Every structure is written in C-alpha cells, then in structure tokens.
Chain A
Amino acid sequence: MKEYQLGEFEEIVMLTVGVLYDEAYGVALKNEIEERGQRSVSIGALQSTLRRLEKKGFLDSRLGEPDKERGGKPKRFFRITAYGKKALTHSKEIRSELWDSIPKIALDLKIR
C-alpha cells in the first residue's frame, strides 16, 4: 500500500481540492487552507505540492479562460482523480483504525 502514502500537507491540499470542487486553483486553495487551518501557506509550498500530486496521479488539472485580474493569464483548476480518492480513503481508514484501537483509558488519562 506504499503507493498511497500521503504527507500531512499533501493530504490537506488534496482534501481542500475536494472541498473547493470546481474552483480549486492556486490562490483559492491558498486562501482556503489559510482560513481553515490558521496557518500561512506559501505559494511555493502549495504549487510544488500540487505538481507533485499531479505527477503521482492523485490530481489532474485543466487550464481555464484567460483572466484580466491575473494579467491575462488563465487559472489552472485541479481535480481529484479516482486514484487520488483511493489514496485519501486509504489514509482516512488508517486513521480511524488507529483511533478505534486507542484503549479508552489512555484517552481518559490524557484529559485529566
């Protein structure tokens, strides 16, 4: 199952691509992650992650229409591929399995 391995930031990016569905392009993703995660994201980190995910086949992309606001340059919209969805489900499953396996007492102690 190694091919499904996602880094923390990669996972967040993929999920956010899903959240934004049809509007998932660079700036929108950056703003969304920053707003939800209360963390700052540099375009550099975001874009290199996006390209990496695309290369791995988790995402694919298409170019939009030229945009005046962007100096006449188009947006690149990203979408999760079926393969990407598998990877996400996989990582979710691993997490919930782990959650379920924590003995209750461990969590109770933590809370005190």
Chain B
Amino acid sequence: MIKKLASKFFKFYCHPDYWVDISGDLDEIYRHNVRTRKKYPQLRYFMQVLQLFRPSLIRPITENSIINSNHTIMLKNYFNVAFRSLLKNRMYSFINIFGLAIGLAAFLMINHFVAFEESYENHIIYRENIYRVQLDVYQNGELVYKSSENYPGAGPAMLEDFPEVISSAKLYNMGSKNNVIITSENGEETPQVLKHKRFLYAEAAFLPMFSVPMIQGDAQTALEKPHTIVISESMAKKYFGNENPMGKLLRLEDDDFNNELCTVTGVFQDIPENTHLKFDVLISFNTLYTRDTSGNGWAKRRYGNGWGRKDFYTYVQLKPNADPKRLESQFPNLVDKYKPENKEKNMKDVLSLQPLKDIHLYSQLTDEAEVNGNGDGVFYISIIAYFILIIAWVNYINLSTARSFDRGREVGLRKVMGSYRSSLVAQFLIESLVINGLAMLVAFILIFSTGNLFHNLSGTPLDYVIWSQSWFWIMVASVVFIGSLLSGIYPAFVISSFKPAQVLHGKLKTSSGGVALRKALVIFQFAMSVALIVGTATVFDQMEYMQSKDLGFDMEQTIVVERPPKQDTSREVRSNRVKSFKTGLKQRSEIISVAGSTLLPGKKLRFKTPIRTNLQSQDEAVPLSVAGIDFDFAESMNMEIIAGRAFSEEMRDDLDSLVILTENASRALGFEKPEDAIGKRIEIERFRWSPSVVGVMSDYHQESLKEEKPKTLIYLSGTGSEYFMIKVNMDQSSQAIASIEEQWYRSFPGNPFHYFFLDEYFNSYYESERQFKDLFATFSILAIIVGCLGLFGLSSFTAIQRAREIAIRKVLGSSILNIIQLLSKEFLILVGTATLIVWPLSYYLMDQWLDNYPYRIDIGWTSFVYSGVVVLLVTAITISYQTLKSATANPVDALNHE
C-alpha cells in the first residue's frame, strides 16, 4: 500500500529519462530488504522516494512534460493571487494565520504529551505478549483488595500448567522494603556507598523477557547464579568510573541484616523514562534462597513457590497467538489447586492478566511500582486538542463566509473574464493551503520558541521528542491537508457559485445560508469555550479541595529520614542507637519533636491481615492494615485520640499487649461507638497475638485523597520504627537539617544520610493531577484566545460592512450607545445561546470525571455563572474595539463616497 503510493509519487515527479533505472534500483533494494527481513521495508522505500526528491532528478517544469505549461502558469497565478489577497487584507490574514498557528501549536504539543503517555513500554520488544498477573482478593464475598502483586507460586505454577505461558518472571522488593545500600569494595580509600530506591530482585527470565538491552554480560544467564548483580550503565559509572565493572564485587546491605557480596555479571543501558518499572540495580532472585539460615527450606517456600504472602510482581509472556481470555478462564482451577484452604476460610482469589501496555495509564491497583498516569486525563486532554484545532478551522471558515461579499466581486469579475468554476475552486483551495501551510510554519516557530516551557508543564522528559518519529510528520502533513480542505471547501464551492451578473450588479447580499452557517459555527465555537472554562474551574476546585482538605494529621514542617539500612544485629545496640538519635535531636532548639513509626503518610500500607474480636467467629474476621508507632507519634502528627488513651512511655504493658484502632477500624470490627472498643480483646491469628484496645484514634488519610481512609490497627513499635518524622522550626530548617545530619552520623555511623520533606513526598501523589490541571488550564485558555481572535475578526468585519447603515442611523439621530447595543447584540446573543446549550453537557462530563475521586467536590452553580460571565465579558471586550470605533466614527467618512 505505502509502496504502491510511493512508487506512483516517484513516477509522478521523476525525470522521465531517469525513471526506469532509478526505480529499478529502488525495487532491487526493496526486494533485498524483504528477503533479509529488515524492519518496515515499505517505509524504507517511502523514505528513499522522499530523499530522491531533488532538483536534479525532478522532471523539468517545461514543455514536453505532463503538466503542460498552461497549467503551470495558472498554478503560479493561483499562488500569486493567494499571496496578494493575503497581503491586501493584512488584518484578516494575520487573524487567520495566527489563530490557526496557535491552534496547530496547541494540537501538536498536546499530541506530544499524549504520545509520551502512550509510549510507555514501547521499548520492550515482546510488550504485546507480556502480562502482569493481577490478584483480586475477596473475603466473605467482599472485594478486599485489587493488587498488582501476587503470590510467589503463581508464576511457576502458570509456567508449569499452561503451555501458552512461555516465560514467567518474578520481581521482589519494590516500593516498600528497598532500604538498601550497596558499597563498592575495590580497595578505594573512600568507597562509594549508595542508597538504592530503584532496586529489584529479579528472576533470570526477566532480562530476556523485557528485552533489557545489555552492554556487557549475557541477558539469558546474567541473573542465574545467587549473589550476582546487574547494574545500569550510569550506576557502573558511579561505582567504577571508567574501569570495567564485570566481575567486580559489590556489597549489599539492608535493614533485614542481610550482608552479601555480589559479583557484577552484567551492565544494561539506562532504562528510559517511559516505563512503569524503573530500576538501576537487579539482584539475582536465587540470592533470596541462600538466606535460609535455619536450613529447613523456608526460603524456598517463602520466595519460591509459596502461596502464602503476596508481595511479588509476576509477569508472564504468552505465545504470540495465545488467547489471554481463554487462559484467564482456567485460572480459578489453578487457584483451587494451589490454595485449597481458601474455601474453608471463605476467601476467594481471582487472578487475571493485565496487558503490560495498560499498566501506566489504566491500572489503579494497590502496591503499584510507581504512581500511575491518568488514562482519563490523557483522554480529556486529547479531546481538548481536537477542540482547539476545530475552533481554529471554524475561525477560518467564518471569516471567509463573512468576506464572501467582497470576494464575490472578484469571482464575478473573473467569471466575466472567462474563468471556469473549477479553476475558481482550485484558486480558493490553494489559498486555503497557503494559509494552512503558513500557519503550520508559525506553529513550529511558536513551539520552538517556547522551548522547555512545555516540557515542564507536561512533565515529559526533555530528551523525549516526537520530531524524530515518522508518524508525527505524517500527522503534520495530514493536518495541513485536511485543514486546507475543510476550511477551504465552503468558500471554494459557495463563493465560486456566485452569479456574476448579480454580484456585479450589487444585488447579492450576504447569502442567508452563509449567515446561518456562520452563526451556527460561532455558537459551536463558544459552546466549546464555555465547556472548557467550566472544566478548568472544576479541575481547579477539585485540586484545591484535595490539597487543602484536612488529612487528619499535620504534615507541615516535617522532615523524614528512613531508618539506617546498615545495622547492628543486636537488638540492644539498635535500641540504644535509636534512643541516642532521638534524644540527641530533641535537645536542639530547632527541632520540635521526633516520632518513629512503621508507616509513612503518603505511602500505601502494605501489610493487611484478617483481624477479629474474641467474640467474633473466624470467618467474620476483617482485613485491617497493621502499623507500628512510637509514643510521640500521635501527638507530633497532631492526630486525635477520640476514646481511651494514647500509648504512654510510663506503662510497660503498652509494648506487647495493647493496640490502638482507627475509627474506621473500630467500626469495621463491629463497634458502634469508639468508646465501645476500649478494653476489648482482639484476635490476630497470624501472629497468635490477642492484645486489647487501649484507644481509638480519629481517621486520617494515609494516602492521597484518591484513596479511601484506611482501617488500621496500630501497635507500639518502639525501636522497630522504619521512619523518623522530625518536626522542625521552619525558619531554621537548613540549620535543622544540618543538625539531623550530624546526629545521624553520630548515632548510625557508616550509613549515608538522606532526608525528604513529608509534604513534598505526599503531594507527589498528585503529580499526574497537577499535570492534568496545568495542561487543561493552559490549553483551555489557548482555545479561548483562538476563539476570540476569530470573533474579533468577525466583529470588525461586520462593523465595516455595516458602516453605511451605522452612519445613516447616526445621521438620523441614534446615540452612540444605541449603535453599540445594535452591534454587540448579535454576538452576545450567539455567545449566550452557546453558554446555555453547553451547560448541561459540561455538567455531565465533569460529574463523570469527578466520580473517579472518592473524595470529591460537588459542582457548584458558581463555576457555571463564572463561565457565562467570563465568556460574555471576553466577547464584549473582544468586539468592543471595532464596535466603539465604528460607533464613534464620523458618518461623513462612510457616506461620502456614494
């Protein structure tokens, strides 16, 4: 198809003397490419044809060629006329071209963003056949969670039971437990100690399945042996500089007291930004099995093929022609086979396959590797892109119809001189092509002159460009082409149909059909603008609501440090160090409080277990999150105890036998009032632990407002805390950081110091919302500007057309105010109609969008009123310049040349 077109095109432009042998060359290369299975032979053919388009090879535009000289001269003439008419009406040309250019620039930029969001995982060769196994857990028929993680046994079982599954890879240690430091041990005086967040344990099958490009080492075998490590190019540079990293040793230490020496068996190219799974360091999965210190094989069960804990990502690769739906239908049997105990516990596990390409935009599961993108947002934004483009085109059509009276004379004259209708059509279409082409040029200038601004706005990495991709140029070409056709077709066919006798006689008023069309288009344009304003207002309100809503705790002025990954194994020593860290800090005036906990606001609570009161039966148990805090936590995070009391340092019992519930958790356990829970006994089967409730704490938002408030059981963790939340005096924050660092190195020598601000961390969950909001607002404003440009042109045109009428009215005694009313009435009515029509539609759309949020605003009438007022005001301002000008003009000027 592409080839056929390209070869036709080639024959069209190529010098006839050269055509035979060059096209022979092209065919020969094409066949060769097909035979050697090069990618996209047709596209290559097409590109070569494009490259052959050179002056020395094009057919000469003289006699003897198929385009005869008459045509060429006419064509030239059309372009001439087009440029002349552009120059003659500079203001209209400017409005046309500039409006279109803004529209096109916005359209291309949005496409850039959309293309980036949709390009996730594109670098993975087998992406079409790779699926993540999703786990939905039901208890007592109720959906408890939808998880992106799975049991370690799921992957191996699928590989064994289903022939369609040709490969499976487990990944471990994402998201939560990656408190790891890796030290280079090659005799340097100051070895590199780096803390790693983008870190994974991966099965050997992972590298080939995800086609990770290796610079050194073999993807098939690099992760086979225990204690092998594969690192990214930039990590290799950090640890070893210019030396060859292969075979070098790295020491891995984490806060589970693992301390292992690993051999570098591979280096891969840095992973691109557009993937949901970002990693710098991979450790062989088999390393986990060597941690079986007791020798009874628990590690093999825990990490190998157990079906107990679900904390592994499982990816499977299917045969290219396998049907994932059919495979999914066999999963219930698989679960029954490996988890027979589910039935008696009244539990149900549902496994399903999630296509790799869907993860970034459409997956919203717990325990995701990173905050996902927002598929809906991308969809809404791309709608705006088309809105803007259409609004820009509508401007052009509007202005052309408005000017049809003027152009009508030209057409009449041409016809009288013997012009064919077909050549008039061609002339108008070429004019439209010139305008669209120029607009595209200006659009590119606009895009390049705004530079990084757009990258910052949309959060796309600077090195991601779509200019290098061929589909982009095809899109640019087709937008110009379709645009020229769409915006040129009405003037081309309607104006060219004018009867010369009538036009030249002055009988032709602007056709009523044209006026109706123009009105309809203005209504349409402004309907879209109003919808965009309502949308922008709603998005802003919702964001404002989410960021300002009381979260149930106070995250201002809080610096967080994670517990040291490198620790002494003795509990005593550890406990003393934590104590010295805390007391050391508390003595300083710039530090207000220090609280430890196993939970970090903003981070998903990973651990859930079925919990019941001692009066409930086993199948009444509800899954609650479990978290540990120390004495100072509730107080320093400003969380309220609404019944009972908080943990207290004075009471020794607190450590082992008492827990606190959140309000939601106490309700879930069947207590009507928080007070009812106090003193009751709780059963936690998995821990064989039955503590009593000492207090109930008010609910808080563990995560962003995109999630429900958690039901949490809280125990006293003392020195087992994973995070320290340090409240500081904000005006002394740099001093505070310095003293935390100093105290850190004193209490935890050998550990690198890292910190972050809690509110920044928490708000990073709103990143895709922020992006959405900024893009939505920016492009809505652009759309409105484009619409107004058109309106400006239209109003000034009407004013000029009606100049004589206005003059006569003034002579007969109309006041300036009357004239203004007269001129603006029509536009205000149009815009008002647009507003009324689109309100219900935009209400519906925004309501749909808000439904994605469990905590959302109701759309108030205010944003509708605002949108109406704003649009009417903008309209009034836009048209006021011309209206005022013609209303105050001296009637003599308009009347004296008749």
- The reply to whether A70 and B57 form a contact with Cβ atoms under 8 Å apart is no
**Per-residue CB proximity of A26-64 to B under 8 Å, as 1/0?**
110010000000000011110110011000000000010
Q: Which residues of A contact B27 (CB under 8 A)?
A: 69-71, 73
Interface centre among B20, B23, B25 (most CB of A within 10 A): B25
Q: How far is the CA of A100 from the CA of B294 in the complex (A)?
A: 80
Q: Which residues of B contact A42 (CB under 8 A)?
A: 48, 51-52
- The reply to whether B29 and A73 form a contact with Cβ atoms under 8 Å apart is no
Partner of B28, one of A47, A51, A69: A69
Partner of B23, one of A45, A48, A51, A73: A73
Q: How far is the CA of A48 from the CA of B51 in the complex (A)?
A: 10
Tell me, rounded to whole Å, the shortest Cβ–Cβ distance linking A104 to chain B. 35
Query: In the complex, which residues 53-94 of chain A have their Cβ closer than 8 Å to any Cβ of chain B?
Result: 63, 67, 69-71, 73-76
Partner of A43, one of B20, B26, B55: B26
Interface centre among B22, B31, B50 (most CB of A within 10 A): B22
Q: How far is the CA of A79 from the CA of B113 in the complex (A)?
A: 53
| B893 CB-CB contact with A under 8 Å | no
- The reply to whether A27 and B25 form a contact with Cβ atoms under 8 Å apart is yes
- The reply to whether A73 and B52 form a contact with Cβ atoms under 8 Å apart is no
- The reply to whether A25 and B21 form a contact with Cβ atoms under 8 Å apart is yes
- The reply to whether B57 and A63 form a contact with Cβ atoms under 8 Å apart is no
| B53 CB-CB contact with A under 8 Å | yes
Partner of A44, one of B21, B23, B32, B54: B54
Q: How far is the CA of A74 from the CA of B26 in the complex (A)?
A: 12
Partner of A51, one of B25, B26, B51, B57: B57
Partner of A76, one of B21, B28, B54, B57: B21
Q: Which residues of B contact A52 (CB under 8 A)?
A: 56
- The reply to whether A47 and B18 form a contact with Cβ atoms under 8 Å apart is yes
Which A residue's beta carbon lies closest to that of B55?
A: A48
Q: How far is the CA of A93 from the CA of B20 in the complex (A)?
A: 37
Which B residue's beta carbon lies closest to that of A29?
A: B25
Partner of A74, one of B21, B51, B53: B21
- The reply to whether A63 and B21 form a contact with Cβ atoms under 8 Å apart is yes
Q: How far is the CA of A99 from the CA of B56 in the complex (A)?
A: 34
- The reply to whether A44 and B29 form a contact with Cβ atoms under 8 Å apart is no
Which B residue's beta carbon lies closest to that of A49?
A: B56
Tell me, rounded to whole Å, the shortest Cβ–Cβ distance linking B590 to chain A. 58
Which B residue's beta carbon lies closest to that of A45?
A: B51
- The reply to whether B56 and A48 form a contact with Cβ atoms under 8 Å apart is yes
> Residues of B within 8 Å of A, CB-based: how many?
22
Known: A27-B29, A51-B18, A51-B57. A44 touches B48 (CB 8 A): yes
Query: In the complex, which residues 5-46 of chain B have their Cβ closer than 8 Å to any Cβ of chain A?
Result: 18, 20-29, 31-32
Q: Which residues of A contact B26 (CB under 8 A)?
A: 43
- The reply to whether B57 and A26 form a contact with Cβ atoms under 8 Å apart is no
Tell me, rounded to whole Å, the shortest Cβ–Cβ distance linking B645 to chain A. 77
Known: A42-B48, A44-B48, A51-B56. A74 touches B22 (CB 8 A): no
Q: Which residues of A contact B25 (CB under 8 A)?
A: 25-27, 30, 43, 47, 70
Tell me, rounded to whole Å, the shortest Cβ–Cβ distance linking B240 to chain A. 30
Tell me, rounded to whole Å, the shortest Cβ–Cβ distance linking A39 to chain B. 15
Q: Which residues of A contact B48 (CB under 8 A)?
A: 42-44
Interface centre among A27, A44, A69, A71 (most CB of B within 10 A): A44
Tell me, rounded to whole Å, the shortest Cβ–Cβ distance linking B334 to chain A. 51
Which B residue's beta carbon lies closest to that of A73?
A: B24
B-side interface mostly:
helix
Interface centre among A43, A52, A67 (most CB of B within 10 A): A43
**Per-residue CB proximity of B817-833 to A under 8 Å, as 1/0?**
00000000000000000
Q: Which residues of B contact A76 (CB under 8 A)?
A: 20-21
Q: How far is the CA of A74 from the CA of B28 in the complex (A)?
A: 11
- The reply to whether B57 and A48 form a contact with Cβ atoms under 8 Å apart is yes
Q: Which residues of B contact A70 (CB under 8 A)?
A: 24-25, 27-28
Known: A42-B48, A43-B29, A43-B51. A26 touches B21 (CB 8 A): yes
Q: Which residues of B contact A47 (CB under 8 A)?
A: 18, 22, 25, 52, 57
Interface centre among A30, A51, A63, A67 (most CB of B within 10 A): A51
**Per-residue CB proximity of B325-366 to A under 8 Å, as 1/0?**
000000000000000000000000000000000000000000
Q: How far is the CA of A31 from the CA of B53 in the complex (A)?
A: 21
- The reply to whether A75 and B56 form a contact with Cβ atoms under 8 Å apart is no
Known: A27-B29, A43-B48, A69-B31. A48 touches B24 (CB 8 A): no
Tell me, rounded to whole Å, the shortest Cβ–Cβ distance linking A13 to chain B. 13
Which A residue's beta carbon lies closest to that of B21?
A: A76
Q: How far is the CA of A55 from the CA of B757 in the complex (A)?
A: 72
Tell me, rounded to whole Å, the shortest Cβ–Cβ distance linking B218 to chain A. 27
- The reply to whether A44 and B20 form a contact with Cβ atoms under 8 Å apart is no
Q: How far is the CA of A63 from the CA of B25 in the complex (A)?
A: 13
- The reply to whether A44 and B24 form a contact with Cβ atoms under 8 Å apart is no
Which B residue's beta carbon lies closest to that of A67?
A: B24
- The reply to whether B20 and A63 form a contact with Cβ atoms under 8 Å apart is yes
Q: How far is the CA of A81 from the CA of B789 in the complex (A)?
A: 64
Tell me, rounded to whole Å, the shortest Cβ–Cβ distance linking B45 to chain A. 10
Partner of A73, one of B21, B51, B54, B56: B21
- The reply to whether B28 and A43 form a contact with Cβ atoms under 8 Å apart is no
- The reply to whether A44 and B52 form a contact with Cβ atoms under 8 Å apart is yes
Q: Which residues of B contact A26 (CB under 8 A)?
A: 21-22, 24-25
Q: How far is the CA of A75 from the CA of B26 in the complex (A)?
A: 11
- The reply to whether A44 and B53 form a contact with Cβ atoms under 8 Å apart is yes
Query: In the complex, which residues 47-69 of chain B have their Cβ closer than 8 Å to any Cβ of chain A?
Result: 48, 50-57
Tell me, rounded to whole Å, the shortest Cβ–Cβ distance linking A56 to chain B. 11
Q: How far is the CA of A8 from the CA of B48 in the complex (A)?
A: 22
Q: Which residues of A contact B57 (CB under 8 A)?
A: 44, 47-48, 51
Which A residue's beta carbon lies closest to that of B14?
A: A47
Which A residue's beta carbon lies closest to that of B53?
A: A44
Which A residue's beta carbon lies closest to that of B20?
A: A73
Q: Which residues of A contact B21 (CB under 8 A)?
A: 25-26, 63, 73-76
Q: How far is the CA of A69 from the CA of B29 in the complex (A)?
A: 10
Q: How far is the CA of A63 from the CA of B54 in the complex (A)?
A: 22
Q: Which residues of B contact A43 (CB under 8 A)?
A: 22, 25-26, 29, 48, 51-52
A-B contact pairs, 15 of them (CB 8 A): A25-B21, A25-B25, A26-B22, A30-B29, A42-B51, A44-B54, A45-B51, A47-B25, A47-B57, A48-B55, A69-B27, A69-B28, A70-B27, A73-B21, A74-B21
The 9 A-B residue pairs with the shortest CB-CB distance, nearest first, are A73-B24, A44-B51, A76-B21, A26-B25, A70-B24, A44-B52, A71-B27, A48-B56, A42-B51
Residues of A within 8 A of B (CB): 25-27, 30, 42-45, 47-48, 51-52, 63, 67, 69-71, 73-76
Given contacts A47-B22, A73-B24, 4 further A-B contacts (CB under 8 A): A43-B25, A44-B50, A69-B28, A71-B23
